Structure 1
Amino acid sequence: MNTDSFALRHIGPRPENIAEMLKTVGVDSLDQLIYETIPDNIRLQKDLDLNEALSEQEYLEHITKLAAKNKMFKTYIGLGYHQSITPPVVQRNVLENPGWYTAYTPYQAEIAQGRLEALLNFQTMVADLTGMELANASLLDEATAAAEAMTLLFAVRDRDQKKRKAVKFFVSEEILPQTLSLLQTRANPLEIELVVGNHEEFNFSEDFFGAILQYPGTSGRIYNYAPFIAQAKEAGIKIAVAADILSLVKLQAPGNFGVDVVVGTTQRFGIPLGYGGPHAAYFATKEEYKRNIPGRIIGVTKDLDGNVALRMALQTREQHIKRDKATSNICTAQVLLAVMASMYGVYHGPKGLQYIANKVHRSAAELTDALEQLGYYQENDYYFDTIRIKTNAAKIKEVAEASEINFYYPEEDTVSISLNEATSLTDLNNIIAVFAHVAGKASIKVTSLEKDIIDKENVARDSDFMTNEVFNKYHSETELMRYIKKLERKDLSLNHSMISLGSCTMKLNAAAEMLPLSYPQWGNIHPFVPIDQAQGYQEVLKKLEDQLTEITGFAATSLQPNSGAQGEFAGLMAIRAYHESRGDHHRNICLIPSSAHGTNPASAVMAGMKVVVTKANESGSIDVEDLKEKALKHKDNLSAVMITYPSTHGVYESAIKEITQIVHDNGGQVYMDGANMNAQVGLTNPGNIGADVCHLNLHKTFAIPHGGGGPGVGPICVAKQLVPFLPGNPIIKTGGENAINAISAAPWGSSLVCLISYAYITMLGPKGLKSSTEHAILNANYIKNRLEGHFTTLYSGERGRAAHEMIIDCRPFKEKGIEVVDIAKRLIDYGFHSPTVSFPVAGTMMIEPTESESKEELDRFCDALISIREEISTVVKEEPNNVLKNAPHTLKMLTSSDWDFPYSREKAAYPLPYVSDNKFWPSVRRVDDAYGDRNLMCTCAPMEEYM
């Protein structure tokens, strides 16, 4: 047993178990299984050209040395990113806690009540601070949220605006530069015309449907937008505001001005800078737009006993229902970061936030006073945290960088300084010393923070916020630690049992991969620092790009997209740019198989393409003749095909090379969805198959934890012809020679969590990566064979094998009145999160065990399903009072003096012997989804209800 081998720790089945598993599968060796599973014509003929694996200790020493190459300057660049202080109690109990970071999206609400409550707190905090009626639980970054606001306002144009084709969207010149770039990315395919200008000189014509303002502006100046908004409303123009959330503690809530949408980032609420992410954005709007709001909304409902329960509300608006009619492709949210931001709000409460906001603002005011005494001119009359000094920027920069201080230099004669929560009196005096040195004067010392210059008459906040009990109760570390633990106990995560979600790849998030996220040398780097100050990051990101490029068989990689769905959009936008560079502006048809992920058609429409659906055949594979027929029909306008490989049905399609050739022969490019890359790494790759671009889900195949629904990272890897079109950034140069505009706000997206995937690849090495794929396939086929005779596997490959996932058919049980959801809820009683339900086929379960699960855990899961199958056999349709329909069973039910069920308490709670050894109790009974949608309530109950 090689204790230096990370693969030994990452891969679940022990060597002594594998022979028995292979026997169950019906093969003599792992090589035979792979031979019978993956088509010969796509198998790689050589090993991956990657460095040999490092041990955990070697990797941690390596990453510590790289961290030391990041220069820890005091940074006051701002531009939507500010150093914040993560409360240690939140860092230790949320960020570093697998009970929080290994949880899945809360689709099974009964075992997700903890994070649902944390997210409800987040929504309440955001709604209160913005003054809006409704907030979601969360988006990717501020720029993405702003783009979503634009598309929402475009979608809800009134009839007259649509009739007269009002397609202009006004953008204040005070908008953040990265936000403007992303608005340009999104506007062009939808034929929205952006008009950038001064809001004080705006012409309210009929051509406009909406506008977006920055509050405070990028310059730091605070504007009273009330007159502008009133005029816009009179003209029928809807307004979005991008607002700094900490400033809203002191400034008038935008909702009080009558705006339609407020967006921003909660990074200032205890989230590390992380060289650009991940951070939880927020999106708040009016209740009348609840059916159009992107992302997820947490709502209050009731369970079977009438008790309060939480769930994801309005799920019918999501892409798997609307597909090409969806107005957003948002899938991953930054849930782990939203939980952290909500806990920051809970810990500090409204009074704590007021103290922090006052400290930041007064620091800026005292700094202004000192610099003016030194003879400098400060431009902004009213500001929150950002001041602009007119002076020789080059001279200031030289002295500042020598003092290890970063400012922002928007013009040759302007220095912008944005202060933050971590700015101390010492830091203030160091800033003053820089300016004093350049002025040739003695420095001025600030000794206290008293000055406050917010315009109380026009823009100062005059409304209460965060009055709910939850924000006024847990202000000691002891109390918050217990509150976080109370919520954690309500959630089933990977630290309790396997989560076998097909397509979602819930694999081990190893501790050695996660540890460096807490290093300040990685967490406290601003995304817009000079490149030479982030050499540790630059080395990691470049190496990770090279690793992913090699794994996928392509020419280059961009790490910028900060979710899988954004990776889809980025890949399609690169294809679009490629066609346009060749004069093929008319190529806008995208072929998408009927079994594709719902985000695929949504992304295609966002990229300005028209979706043509192709059929699947009886085996679940793409109907090649139908695809060929449609490719020929649209050959003059064919832009791309979107395929998933192995297929969404869990099958390696042998005709895949024929499919890619058909598309190429008809002038299209091949986009591959990387959701199932865990079945390819080291054995085949998209480049070898014939794809032109592939997005990867680093939160699936490459071990970034799901965090309850995010963070995710969705880089794109591209063939040679698409390299020039990789996405850029308006502040730090990234991307290709003819880069498309930004896909996310930061140059390299969510850089901090890219460390996890870099660690995963570096510690597994080429052999470990290949072995992981092989064992993922072994585990899936082991489950398939163990369930034979109990459940029917819907699709298999030509030799009867599954890929890394498989679909079991639960539709025959309808004749007994049992739905697939009943099986999902009953699995909770056995201590398991359900596999993926009703996707891609209604009434089925898609199971993906990953390579990280041991034979013992696979057996427990199979035993549970087989036991449930036996329970189904005893069900009488006319008697719905049965153990499946009543599942899950809570501790309160089991300890009640009343028991009105025709089965024993033991059968309900302990259906198999292993359950008693590690029982997980759901905190609520089955939730009522319909009630929650009919009675939408998406914020915490008011304080009065607790009194």
Structure 2
Amino acid sequence: MTINQSGWKPEVPVAGPDAPMTATGNRGLMLEEPLIFEIGATDVTGVDLDALPTVQSRLGGLDRASPIGLPGLSEPDTVRHYTRLSRQNYGIDLGPFPLGSCTMKHNPRLNEKVARLPGFADVHPLQPQSTVQGALAVINELAFWLIELTGMHGVAMTPKAGAHGELCGLLCIRAAHEARGDARSVVLVPESAHGTNPATAAFCGYRVENIPATAEGRVDLEALKSRLGPDVAAVMITNPNTCGLFERDMKAIGDAVHAVGAYVYCDGANFNAIVGRVRPGDLGVDAMHINLHKTFSTPHGGGGPGAGPVVLSEALAPFGPLPYTARMADGSIHLIEEENVGEEMPQSFGRMSAFHGQMGMFTRALAYILSHGADGLRQASGDAVLAANYVLRSLEGVLHAPFGASGPCMHEALFSDDGLAEGMSTIDIAKGLIDEGFHPMTMYFPLVVHGAMLVEPTESESKVRLDEFILALRSVAERAKAGDVSLKSAPHFAPRARLDETRAARSPVLAWKNAD
């Protein structure tokens, strides 16, 4: 059936073996929607415009030589198109994102209002410095909190994300080694660390060597000690680690690493589990990035560019990038700008980026911190750990927890596909959860656990919502253990049926092309 002049025909979604087919592809109020190119036509617009007068071009011969190819839609068609698409998406305002290692928690609307205040929303990086003193004060105030909460000496605010922060920390470590004429070649990365850690170390030119985990899912301290030597520049460790466990030997690890002249880099992606309770600086950490979107509730992904400030120990602080905020001898926190670098930071490795950072992320993070206070942040991390343990223990006997016998977890509950019926796998449970109305958990990560399912409920979910999620996951898991073959074709009630993910990864269609 032809819908419009473009010749688009609806793709009728699969909705289970007994679902009736519809002529339009719609199912109740879940409306099918084509691409915007398939609705509109390139030779029309949504409004009538008079012919433009001929004017002399000022583009120096760079005028567009061919039509841009964008479709023209009326206002109702435009609004309906994006509203229909939004109804096919899942967001935090609909339900939880139980993605392990991602800390997809609710962003309070208060933070959004603060970020939109005049002077924050419209500040420009090229303004004269005299006109942005208030913005600089906000950055410095946030820096003060980050230094205090981590027990570190200083912080670089310019890194744009976690991986960018990892790069910043390793550049500081490399600069520190080179300053004493002790260039080193190896970075040790435990297998329980985040996957970006070895990638960042390799990008910096280091040779990466793996350190195994114990049967409990933590760093093997003796294996680490046996590998330490004069060629090791740093150890990159995630704490709490990707198995959702706190590294109990962290202080011993730091002491051993420092004894051979190396440094400890801590991946701060899981700081949300310990903020207000543990200060990484007290454990011997020399550098750690802080994902503001994970711990301090700034937008994750779509609200970017992001922010990944890096806190540094007193040993690495002199090598931090500019601009830089540091703790002075009198205990005060001071923003070091480029004009006084010669006096205060002559060993700085330079700049990570052209400007201070993302003002919207800084204002949101500071609003979150100030609205909670130190006691509130401590409660938030405790609630995150409590929620994860509630999920872990509520699913005992239903899903296998590979480290369940190791005691309580931190902010993440880790399960595996062990015990499912033959032919059933982790992805079947994830797709079944979509039919229950929930975004799936993180699948197949960490790699040290076969068929891993990593659940991070966060502190922003109530017990009522946690119980709903647990009920749904329990139901799907029991079906998988019983060998319910309908899970192999799930989801049945989503806007699209199960996709061929291998083909999507190997043969992606990244641009629309007119079939004609």
Instruction: Give the % identical residues.
Output: 37
Deviations 1:329-377 (A, max 9, x none): xxxxxxxxxxxxxx9xx99x9999xxxxxx9xxxxxxxxxxxxxxxxxx
Q: Which amino acid aligns with 1:937?
A: V
Q: Which amino acid aligns with 1:935?
A: S
Q: Describe how 1:705-724 pairs up with structure 2 within 5 A.
A: 705-708=299-302, 710-724=304-318
2:270 counterpart (676, 683, 686)? 676
Residue 718 of structure 1: how far off its partner (Å): 0.5
Distance in 2 of aligned mates of 1:518 and 1:351: 36
Provide the residue aligned with 1:809 in structure 2. 416
Task: Please list every run of 5 or more consecutive structure 2 residues that lacks an aligned counterpart in the other structure.
Answer: 1-10, 16-35, 46-51, 324-336
Provide the residue aligned with 1:696 in structure 2. 290
Provide the residue aligned with 1:787 in structure 2. 395
Provide the residue aligned with 2:58 in structure 1. 453
TM-score norm. by structure 1 comes to 0.46
SS in 2 for 1:670: strand
Q: Which amino acid aligns with 1:837?
A: M
Distance 1:503 1:710, change over 3 A: farther
Distance in 2 of aligned mates of 1:833 and 1:722: 41
Q: Describe how 1:695-844 pairs up with structure 2 within 5 A.
A: 695-708=289-302, 710-728=304-322, 733=338, 736-745=345-354, 747-796=355-404, 798=406, 800-813=407-420, 815-840=421-446, 841-844=449-452
**Structure 1 residue 884 and structure 2 residue 487: aligned?**
yes
On the 8 A contact 2:120/2:359 being kept in 1, the answer is no
Provide the residue aligned with 1:845 in structure 2. 453
Distance 1:350 1:819, change over 3 A: farther
Q: Describe how 1:217-366 pairs up with structure 2 within 5 A.
A: none
Distance in 1 of aligned mates of 2:149 and 2:271: 10
Distance 1:568 1:629, change over 3 A: same
Distance in 2 of aligned mates of 1:828 and 1:708: 22
TM-score norm. by structure 2 comes to 0.83
Q: Describe how 1:340-739 pairs up with structure 2 within 5 A.
A: 452-456=57-61, 459-465=62-68, 467=69, 471-474=70-73, 476=75, 478-585=76-183, 587-631=184-228, 635-708=229-302, 710-728=304-322, 733=338, 736-739=345-348
On the 8 A contact 2:290/2:308 being kept in 1, the answer is yes
Q: Which amino acid aligns with 2:504?
A: G
Q: Which amino acid aligns with 1:836?
A: T
Distance 1:486 1:304, change over 3 A: closer
SS in 1 for 2:419: helix
Query: What number of residue pairs does the alignment pair up?
Result: 459
On the 8 A contact 1:650/1:795 being kept in 2, the answer is no
Distance in 1 of aligned mates of 2:196 and 2:208: 12
Provide the residue aligned with 2:6 in structure 1. none
Distance in 1 of aligned mates of 2:213 and 2:402: 13
Deviations 1:779-817 (A, max 9, x none): 11111111111112222585x11111120111332x521
Q: Which amino acid aligns with 2:258?
A: H
Residue 710 of structure 1: how far off its partner (Å): 4.8
On the 8 A contact 1:650/1:796 being kept in 2, the answer is no
Provide the residue aligned with 1:87 in structure 2. none
Q: Which amino acid aligns with 2:369?
A: I
Q: CA RMSD in A?
A: 2.8
Distance in 2 of aligned mates of 1:925 and 1:869: 20
SS in 1 for 2:316: helix
Distance 1:538 1:508, change over 3 A: same
Q: Which amino acid aligns with 1:505?
A: T
Q: Which amino acid aligns with 2:186?
A: I
Provide the residue aligned with 1:317 in structure 2. none
Residue 507 of structure 1: how far off its partner (Å): 1.1
Distance in 1 of aligned mates of 2:483 and 2:12: 23
Q: Which amino acid aligns with 2:126?
A: F
Distance in 2 of aligned mates of 1:508 and 1:817: 36
Provide the residue aligned with 2:28 in structure 1. none
SS in 1 for 2:295: coil
Distance 1:819 1:709, change over 3 A: farther
On the 8 A contact 2:266/2:288 being kept in 1, the answer is yes
Distance in 2 of aligned mates of 1:938 and 1:665: 51
Deviations 1:29-60 (A, max 9, x none): xxxxxxxxxxxxxxxxxxxxxxxxxxxxxxxx
Q: Which amino acid aligns with 1:926?
A: R
SS in 2 for 1:499: coil
Distance 1:936 1:303, change over 3 A: farther
Deviations 1:759-794 (A, max 9, x none): 110100011000001111111111111111111222
2:501 counterpart (920, 929, 932)? 929
On the 8 A contact 1:474/1:483 being kept in 2, the answer is no
Distance 1:493 1:665, change over 3 A: same
Distance 1:559 1:303, change over 3 A: farther
Distance in 2 of aligned mates of 1:771 and 1:481: 42
Distance 1:709 1:609, change over 3 A: farther
Distance in 2 of aligned mates of 1:685 and 1:934: 43
Residue 481 of structure 1: how far off its partner (Å): 3.1
Q: Relative CO higher for 1 or 2, CA cutoff 8 Å, sep ≥ 6?
A: 1
Distance in 2 of aligned mates of 1:936 and 1:494: 27
Deviations 1:686-720 (A, max 9, x none): 10111001001111111012245854311100111
On the 8 A contact 2:156/2:322 being kept in 1, the answer is no
Q: Which has the larger radius of gyration?
A: 1
Deviations 1:378-401 (A, max 9, x none): xxxxxxxxxxxxxxxxxxxxxxxx
Provide the residue aligned with 2:332 in structure 1. none
Residue 722 of structure 1: how far off its partner (Å): 1.6
Distance in 2 of aligned mates of 1:663 and 1:528: 42
Q: Which amino acid aligns with 1:824?
A: A
Distance in 1 of aligned mates of 2:82 and 2:126: 33
Distance in 2 of aligned mates of 1:562 and 1:504: 16
1:875 counterpart (468, 483, 503)? 483
SS in 2 for 1:561: coil
Q: Which amino acid aligns with 1:884?
A: L
Distance in 2 of aligned mates of 1:473 and 1:705: 32
Deviations 1:117-141 (A, max 9, x none): xxxxxxxxxxxxxxxxxxxxxxxxx
On the 8 A contact 1:696/1:715 being kept in 2, the answer is yes
Provide the residue aligned with 2:19 in structure 1. none
SS in 2 for 1:866: helix
SS in 2 for 1:592: strand
Distance 1:594 1:709, change over 3 A: farther
Deviations 1:121-162 (A, max 9, x none): xxxxxxxxxxxxxxxxxxxxxxxxxxxxxxxxxxxxxxxxxx
Q: Which amino acid aligns with 1:589?
A: V
Distance in 2 of aligned mates of 1:830 and 1:659: 43
Residue 304 of structure 1: how far off its partner (Å): 9.0
Higher helix proportion: 1
